[in-house]
Amino acid sequence: MSTRDLGALGEPIARREDPRLLTGRGRYVDDFGQHALEVAFVRSPHAHARILDIDVTGALDVDGLVAIYTYDDLEERVAEPLPILIPHPALTDGRTQYALAKDEVNHVGEAVAMVVATDRYVAEDAAGLIRVDYEPLSPVVGIEAAREATELVHDDVPGNVAANMVQERGDARAAIAAAPHVIELDLAIERSASTPLEGKGVYARWDADDASLRVYSATQASTSVRSAIAAKLGLPPDRVEVIAPDVGGGFGVKIVHPWPEEILVPWAAIRLGREVKWTEDRREHFVSAAHERGQLQHVTAGFDDEGRLLGLDVRIWHDNGAYTPYGIVVPIVTSTQLLGPYKPGAYRVEFDSLYTNTVTVTPYRGAGRPQGCFAMERTMDAIAAQLGLDRTVVRERNFIQPDEMPYDHGLIFQDGRPLIYDSGDYPATLAKIKKLVGWDDFQAYREQARAEGRRVGIGLACYVEGTGVGPYEGGWVKVETDGSVVVATGLTTQGQGHQTAFAQVVASELGVPIDRVTVVTGDTRRFRYAVGTFASRAAVMSGNAVAAAARKVRQKALRIAAEALEADPGDLEILDGIVQVKGVPGASIPLSTVAVLSNPLRYAFDEEAKRATQFATAADPDKPPVAEGDEPGLEATGYYSPPRSTFANGMHAAIVETDPDTAEIKILRYCVVHDCGTLINPRIVEGQIHGGVAQGVGGALYERMVYDESGQLLNASFMDFLMPYATEVPVIETDHLQTPSPLNPLGIKGAGEAGVIPGSAVLAAAIEDAEGISITRMPISPSELHELRHAHAAPKERP
Amino acid sequence: MTDLHTVELTVNGVPRTADVPARRLLSDFLRHDLELTGTHVGCEHGVCGACTVLVDGAPMRSCLLFAVSVNGASVTTVEGCSTATGELGPVQQAFLECHGLQCGFCTPGFVTTITAYLEQNPEPTEDEARHAIAGNLCRCTGYQNIVGSVLRAAELKREAGAAV
Amino acid sequence: MKVTGSAVLHAPRDRVWAALTDPEVLVRTLPGCQQLEQVGPDYYKATVYAGVASIKGLFSGEVKLSDRIEPDSFVMHASGAGGPGTVSADVQVRLAEVDGASTRLDYDADAVIGGMIGGVGQRMLTGVAKRTAEEFFTAVDDVLLGRAELAAPAVGVPGVTGAPIEIAAEGERPVYTAPPRARPATSVATVLGSAVVGALIALAGVLIGWLIAR
Amino acid sequence: MKPPPFVYHRPDNVDEALDVLAEVASDGKILAGGQSLVPLMSMRLAAPGHLVDINGLSELGGIRIGHDGVQVGATVRHAELEGDEAAFAVQPLLRQALAYVAHPTIRNRGTSVGSLAHADPAGELTAVLALLGGTVTVRSRAAERTVPAAEFFLGPLESAVRPDELATSAYFPALPPKTGSAWTEVSRRNGDYAICGVGALVTVDDDRRIVTARLGLISVGPTPVVVDVSESLVGQRANAATFADAARLVEDTVDPEGDIHATAEYRRHLAGVLTGRALANATERALEVTT
């Protein structure tokens, strides 16, 4: 690794994308195609039903209607089920939907017919006139119903079990049997969802002359969408361009691909020879995108008198909804990441991934970790309570110590690689969070509050997050002849500030001012190979990839400059976009000139170019202008492919107050200590944490997907799905550690998901502490806390 | 039913007109008929606030208004919250400085709401700033930096006022 | 949603039974019901002008009666669909003599409200259902007490009651058309229990309350 | 989510509006603020064939203040009424309750009379009107009538305004002397529909004893609920009053429904708790104006 001048790296600079976004010049999918035809879907009102007949005649007279499609209109591979993106041997009974429902619908909101019209208003008019005759079937709703399996979601999947998987290290059950103390906990987390402010959207234009397709999609994985569209529509991949423009938040739901609409909209555009656009509305997003989090978990823990975990046995029932397009990543993540910073003597985990007639489940920020963290941290609190120990003491006794790193858990992680923690200092993190929240002073505060008739409680939760999942990302860096630098990487951006962070990486690697660097993401025209933005991987993966590309460019620049300056490359440095001989002022050449020289020219099209033309250079007449093995241009492509994930960690602590009368829950303080290795831009990382915490608070106190027994989602709007406003999110106090990852040159660990992970765990702990009532289900509302108080008080009143 | 109505608005100081059906929502009128796509639509039922624009100076949900019903009004969108010379306005500048946005989708509604709010209350406390933005949803930022942006924008406006 | 409730109707059980299974009575008592078309034994197609306040609309669905154990109980199955939503309900109705002059009606409904209305109407559904149930039972009671004509003037729209029910034969199928009528004044006294919810009304599609299926 | 088509009417005066209403009858709806109607239409839960836009009718604007009360025209926005100092002076409960109506942005467009006509059982102003014993004036082509609050709210989303009628104004009586008012509510998020909301009016005598105490509640029944708790408090020293009996009385009176946000039992409990809080605040204010 060359000596790096960190320069802008690590600086909390303002984001370079912001002026555009702040003045209304952002370009989101629905901002394109103002004259495109627009799509509306007829979606099932039933959770489980057979489609007997679709009668479109009522809609045919609608002025402005262009086309109506049902399953019967679909051709070839468009008529096949959508792919299972992440196959797994344990996923024995994976099922996916058809782009338009064939014969049967399996959740409310599944698309049955597609209407194309001159605008969305007209499309909805026509959709409302299509009559679908259904034969309702018994729906399976909720994990208990799925487990009982008296009714089946898919006739050919017995027990509603899509997957069953066991992982074990040591003999956990024997260890528990031999342990001095054993506790059992039943824990539940309800459904929530990503709910980005911008829904999904697809806009497609077909160029018949060029036989090429361009698709704009609000996706987290444009290269994969391109592959999926090419495969489904039978097009050569190089005839398909997919662009993720500005995307209004993702949080996981936009990683799934292809969504039915990503196939249907381009398909219709080709068939009709017209531009076609679909913009998901909020209700569609609730009933036809994806949810997550719904899990039941039974924990059995054996421990010694000191509170050390001797054996841990966890049984998980995961609600995967109607289909499994994204495989079983979520329960695998819960199974493995549940362990957090701890090292139980032996561990066994088994999950069933179960079908229900509800919206499909795919990862939502945190992706199974909030459930796992809830299980582990509630267990730690229960152990402390049983032994009468301070909750931080029990945790500390179970921590993996810094000198045990790298630590191999003996399990397989979601990326198919061994679960090996690369680095982290958990005792130091704990010390920091205790100090930040004032853990040791809380008892005094509690007494004081109690004297004022107030109930307060404190909670703490720890997590470890595998980030920077492979297989790879790539980056391309080019220095233009005006000295500006363009950077492209294939993964996409949904607000993470990649145009700033990657520019910081490249600017510091190359030695150019950051305002000369422009970054493009998620555009298959600009970079062809990529995986996507998920699993807190962008900074780790593309950060290191663009760094690798920039380093290659730097080396080439130094080589060319050395020839021009007649100096040794080793004596050169690049400062502020100028290559110079160290310690020799005046012996320098701007990168712009190096870029000119890197590309031997015949034609001079401007003043700069003249310097590279054939009569202007004093090139060796015996050598080819472009040396063997070399390439014209000051540009390079680099890739980063890690051996395995890198593990960030952190701890949250919260102080809550519960109203003795109304049972309202107020967060008085919320503290975060976070370690994601080297920070590229601390301000961006802090923003990620704030946003994650807000989602964690939402998941703990406000948000849930309420299904009734018939599979109707009862709160499919922002009126009733209670995403927090500013008044519901506490002030977030943060502190950082920086334990660099040894796995990548920049020492980065991911930060995107961390903030959300411990939300339910830490708030349940604080509420339990305030109330003296065991909290085992999240989220919790004031109404539910009120009920718990009654249930808790009842035995005393009526012995 | 499909009769068109001529709607004339002054948008960001510029007279604009288009013939639209009565049911055209102001949000769609701005975005599609006038191609001012800075105003975003996040829920279309008046809860998220992304579509907030100023109608005769007052913030309103453009998704809850029929364009025809505000015929003749003066409308300010996020595009109109910049300075006369096209530079960032004080609220926009504050968002830039305070990292008050991530994906930027909800941002236009915050910028318009805060722009109007600071006219009413030029020196908000932190708590007032938080309440001022409490009718707008953001899924990215956790609001902390938006609250900071409100306070910073107030500061910038005061500085600009003092400089004049 | 599962809903239960009960009401006391001021007539002997056999008369209540007769009224509740008589399309001529149903067509004039089901709130908003405009037309019942008999398509088979105990099987009707219904046209309902349903809604709340001036937000109203036409809705069509079907009603079947089954498991008739006269005069104790029967089951109503109702279903229908409009643009904004669907409704279907199975309603178990039981009649019990209170005394010679009145009958207690208990119902257990399992209603499924689907589509947009199911996802956004939760806050209002039970309230609307309850209101509509009261209206229905009051109307039935009025018929039973022979005071149906008296109900209308109470809400002050003259000249809309007392018109005969028109029965037109459309092919083999009798069609019952409701006379123009005003909304009867409700009388909470006829409805028992705090959790009375008018799932019975699902059969009239009225749980869609404020739907308009145009 | 786009609204269905409709015929748009923008009458030049109230008579013209009433003519249209008479003609289109129940196929028509008034468009005032539209903050409830437009989302219902976008969700296609409402599809009126005709909208009669009254926003341009200046004769329906304006807040008229008298010693006896506040008259609010049909096009007066919540924000206008909330900010009106003279209205606050005559009837402070208006501003106290309006602060809880959704968010300020909604209040900038939504009209107070419109929200009464909409008769949402969670609408703060319904209980304010009912508690104060106000009236709503409605006009049709044939007649004008003034409907007392007690007869105005018929059911959830159902007011006494008939299809051919236009609610032209609402009248809120002034706060009597030696009286304090208060509004309090619990909602899930700031600005959400209340899980329970309570307004209180407390009148004291010169001896600082409570004379009357009344409450108006929302979200605990199909229409606003008014409870007179004077009997449980009369004669009590206002500064030492305890409101436990009043709270129990209210709990026993209301008949709330459960929903996805709160059980019926919790709503009932809140009605009691908030009754105590609203009475305490109102009593305190009554004492302030009585000294």
pLDDT 10s digits, A12-68 = 999 999 999 999 999 999 999 999 999 999 999 999 999 999 999 999 999 999 999
pLDDT 10s digits, A427-481 = 999 999 999 999 999 999 999 999 999 999 999 999 999 999 889 999 999 999 9
State yes or no: pLDDT of A620 exceeds 90: no
Q: Are C134 and C142 in contact (CB under 8 A)?
A: no
Rounded-to-integer distance, Cα D63 and Cα D78, Å? 11
> Cα angle at D104 between D99 and D106, to 5 degrees?
110
| Reported confidence tier of residue A291, pLDDT bands at 50, 70, 90 | very high
Residue D46 to residues A409, C82, D4, D27, D121: CA-CA distances in angstroms? 58, 12, 9, 10, 18
Q: What is the pLDDT of residue C125?
A: 74
Q: Mark which residues 641-700 of A lie under 8 Å from B by CB.
A: 683-684, 686-687, 689-695
Rounded-to-integer distance, Cα A605 and Cα A607, Å? 7
Mean pLDDT of A552-574: 95
pTM attached to this predicted model: 0.93
Query: CB burial class (10 A; 0-12, 13-18, 19+) of residue A552?
Result: middle
Q: Mark which residues 127-156 of A lie under 8 Å from D by CB.
A: 128
Q: Are C74 and C189 in contact (CB under 8 A)?
A: no
Are the beta carbons of D40 and C122 separated by less than 8 Å? no
| Reported confidence tier of residue C54, pLDDT bands at 50, 70, 90 | very low
Test the D interface: residue of A118, A659, A662, A720 with most D CBs within 10 Å: A662
Q: A464 and chain C: CB distance < 8 Å anywhere?
A: no
- Give, for D263, the enclosing helix (H) or strand (E): none
State yes or no: pLDDT of C164 exceeds 70: no
State yes or no: pLDDT of C118 exceeds 90: no
The closest of B62, B59, B48, B61 to B91, measured between CA atoms, is: B59
Q: A781 and chain D: CB distance < 8 Å anywhere?
A: yes
% chain A with pLDDT above 90: 91
Q: Mark which residues 10-49 of A lie under 8 Å from C by CB.
A: 45-46
Distance from CA of B93 to the nearest CA of D (A): 23
Residue A524 to residues A238, A472, A636, B31, C56: CA-CA distances in angstroms? 9, 16, 17, 27, 51
Read off the DSSP letter of residue A364. -
Tokens of residue D289, six digits: 């104006």
Which one is predicted more confidently, A510 or C57?
A510
| Reported confidence tier of residue C213, pLDDT bands at 50, 70, 90 | very low
A197: Cα separation from own chain's centroid:
15
Of A45, A714, A715, Cβ closest to residue C85: A45
Kindly list the partner chains of chain A, i.e. chains with 3 or more CB atom pairs below 8 Å.
B, C, D
Q: Are C50 and C132 in contact (CB under 8 A)?
A: no
Residues of D in contact with B65 (CB under 8 A): 34, 38, 109
Tokens of residue B28, six digits: 């769609």
Q: Does the CA dihedral D27-D33-D37-D42 come out positive or negative?
A: positive
Of B36, B50, B133, Cβ closest to residue A197: B50
Where b means 16+ CB within 10 Å and e means fewer, A396-434 reads bbbbbeeeebebebebebbbeeebbbbbbbbeebbbbbb
Identify the segments of chain D with pLDDT beneath 70.
none
- Give, for D93, the enclosing helix (H) or strand (E): helix D92-98
Q: Are A550 and A557 in contact (CB under 8 A)?
A: no
| Reported confidence tier of residue A573, pLDDT bands at 50, 70, 90 | very high
Alpha helices in D69-172 (DSSP H): 78-83, 85-90, 92-98, 104-107, 112-118, 124-132, 149-152
Rounded-to-integer distance, Cα B157 and Cα B161, Å? 6
Rounded-to-integer distance, Cα B131 and Cα A475, Å? 43
Backbone angles phi, psi at C114, to 5 degrees: -115, 175
Amino acid at C70: E
| Reported confidence tier of residue A719, pLDDT bands at 50, 70, 90 | very high
Size of interface A-B (CB pairs under 8 A): 174
- Give, for A380, the enclosing helix (H) or strand (E): helix A369-387
Q: A793: Cβ–Cβ under 8 A, 6 or more apart, which residues?
A: none
Given the cut 0.90, state whether the ipTM is greater than it.
yes
Tokens of residue A144, six digits: 């208990």
Minimal Cα distance from A132: which residue of C?
C81
Q: Beta partners for D153? A: D159
Test the D interface: residue of C1, C2, C4, C55 with most D CBs within 10 Å: C55
Distance from CA of D231 to the nearest CA of B (A): 39
Q: Mark which residues 63-102 of C lie under 8 Å from D by CB.
A: 83-85
Q: C192 and chain D: CB distance < 8 Å anywhere?
A: no
Q: Are A366 and A757 in contact (CB under 8 A)?
A: yes
% chain C with pLDDT above 70: 61
Tokens of residue A715, six digits: 């709160």
Q: What is the pLDDT of residue C26?
A: 82
Neighbours of D205 (CB within 10 A): 15
Of C130, C131, C210, Cβ closest to residue D46: C210
Q: What is the pLDDT of residue B116?
A: 98
pLDDT 10s digits, C88-103 = 888 888 999 998 889 9
Q: Mark which residues 232-251 of A lie under 8 Å from B by CB.
A: 246-249, 251
Distance from CA of D41 to the nearest CA of B (A): 10
Q: Are A51 and A103 in contact (CB under 8 A)?
A: yes
Alpha helices in A652-720 (DSSP H): 682-697
Neighbours of A15 (CB within 10 A): 27
DSSP helix/strand/coil, D26: helix
State yes or no: pLDDT of A7 exceeds 60: no
Q: Are C46 and C207 in contact (CB under 8 A)?
A: no
Of B3, B66, B134, Cβ closest to residue D103: B134
Sheet containing A201-207: order of strands:
A65-70, A111-117, A37-43, A276-279, A201-207, A212-217, A240-243
Q: What is the pLDDT of residue C117?
A: 79
Neighbours of B159 (CB within 10 A): 10
Q: Beta partners for B129? A: none
Neighbours of B145 (CB within 10 A): 24
Residues of D in contact with C131 (CB under 8 A): 154-156, 158, 222
Minimal Cα distance from A697: which residue of B?
B142
Q: What is the pLDDT of residue A638?
A: 96
State yes or no: pLDDT of A796 exceeds 60: no
Mean pLDDT of B137-146: 98
| Reported confidence tier of residue B164, pLDDT bands at 50, 70, 90 | low
Q: What is the pLDDT of residue C194?
A: 23
Q: Are C124 and D36 in contact (CB under 8 A)?
A: no
Rounded-to-integer distance, Cα B27 and Cα B53, Å? 9
- Give the CA diameter of chain B: 55
Q: D19: Cβ–Cβ under 8 A, 6 or more apart, which residues?
A: D11, D141
pLDDT 10s digits, A80-104 = 999 999 999 999 999 999 999 999 9
Distance from CA of B45 to the nearest CA of D (A): 5
Read off the DSSP letter of residue A73. G
Q: What is the pLDDT of residue A240?
A: 98
Mean pLDDT of C47-66: 69
Q: What is the pLDDT of residue C58?
A: 61
- Give, for A335, the enclosing helix (H) or strand (E): helix A329-337
| Reported confidence tier of residue C56, pLDDT bands at 50, 70, 90 | low
Give the mean pLDDT of chain A.
95
State yes or no: pLDDT of A404 exceeds 60: yes
| Reported confidence tier of residue B36, pLDDT bands at 50, 70, 90 | very high
Which one is predicted more confidently, C179 or A195?
A195
Are the beta carbons of C120 and A720 separated by less than 8 Å? yes
Rounded-to-integer distance, Cα B4 and Cα B20, Å? 5
Residues of C in contact with A712 (CB under 8 A): 112-114, 118-119
